[in-house]
Amino acid sequence: SYVLTQPPSVSVAPGKTARITCGGNNIETKIVHWYQQKPGQAPVLVVYDNSDRPSGIPERFSGSNSGNTATLTISRVEAGDEADYFCQVWHSNSDHPHWVFGGGTKLTVL
Amino acid sequence: EVQLVESGGGLVKPGGSLRLSCAASGFTFSSYSMNWVRQAPGKGLEWVSSISSSSSNIKYADSVKGRFTISRDNAKNSLYLQMNSLRAEDTAVYYCASGYGIAVAVPFDYWGQGTLVTVSS
């Protein structure tokens, strides 16, 4: 089965840039999606197809995918960005295609 | 406005069954794939099952295959998850989420608020 590895936590000061990584074997061959989940709330799609943003998501959120690492970048971090972030890929390289989520990263705004 | 409202959660004994429902509104339900995702208390997201817009393509996580059945009724704008042979490790908040297209391999663009399933004796 395919495994996505995220750091458990990332801390950043307000106004700075946060980078949350998602590691996977040759992940650049896959399409990565990112979700934000605030405490007590449902997840929200913030980046899809590696680097596209749904309507309503600020331009501060961006994504990239290269080699064995996909990255969610949040520029000019605000207190309201504090949340858990999850990466997701569709693993089709098997006879049992399925969705895979990363373990999640808690973003703390200092 | 897109709305997804789950129902049917509750307390059930190990080995028991439960049927979750998800009522959809605000979009053309029959044109989008649908999904179930769960989250155990204090844990991350775990994909459970996906169904294409026409029900022609259905996928399950290994952890639930053979025990859970996903289905949809496009005439009623509803998604279902029949859960049998429930185990303690199935305890979680269950979310329904719509797909960003007709196929199962598309991101989940809208999510419900979830319904809690507790499996305990």
Q: Is the distance from CB of A92 to CB of A107 less than 8 angstroms?
A: no
In sequence order, the 6+-apart residues with CB closer than 8 A to the CB of A97 are: A90, A91, B59, B105
Residue A1 has pLDDT above 90, yes or no: no
Q: pLDDT over 70 for what percent of chain A?
A: 100
CA distance B113 to chain A (A): 5
- By C-alpha distance, the chain A residue nearest B6 is A42
How many angstroms separate the CA atoms of A35 and B108, rounded? 9
- Residue A31: which pLDDT band, with cuts at 50, 70 and 90? very high
SS3 B12: strand
Residue A93 has pLDDT above 80, yes or no: no
Q: Is the distance from CB of A2 to CB of A96 less than 8 angstroms?
A: no
What are the phi and psi torsion angles at B31 (to 5°)? Answer: -100, 5
How does pLDDT run across A36-86, given as a tens digit for each residue? 999 999 999 999 999 999 999 999 999 999 999 999 999 999 999 999 999
Does A23 lie at the interface with B, CB-CB under 8 angstroms? no
CA B54 to chain centre: 16
**CB contact (8 A) between residue A101 and residue B47:** yes
- pLDDT value at position B102? 83
- By C-alpha distance, the chain B residue nearest A33 is B107
CA distance B89 to chain A (A): 17
Residue in this structure with the two tokens 């789950």, named with its chain if needed: B6
Does A100 lie at the interface with B, CB-CB under 8 angstroms? yes
Specify the pairing of strand A83-91 against strand A69-74. unpaired
Strands (E), A13-91: 18-23, 32-37, 44-47, 61-66, 69-74, 83-91
Give the Cβ contact number of residue A110 at 10 Å.
10
Q: Is the distance from CB of A3 to CB of A102 less than 8 angstroms?
A: no
Residue B20 has pLDDT above 90, yes or no: yes
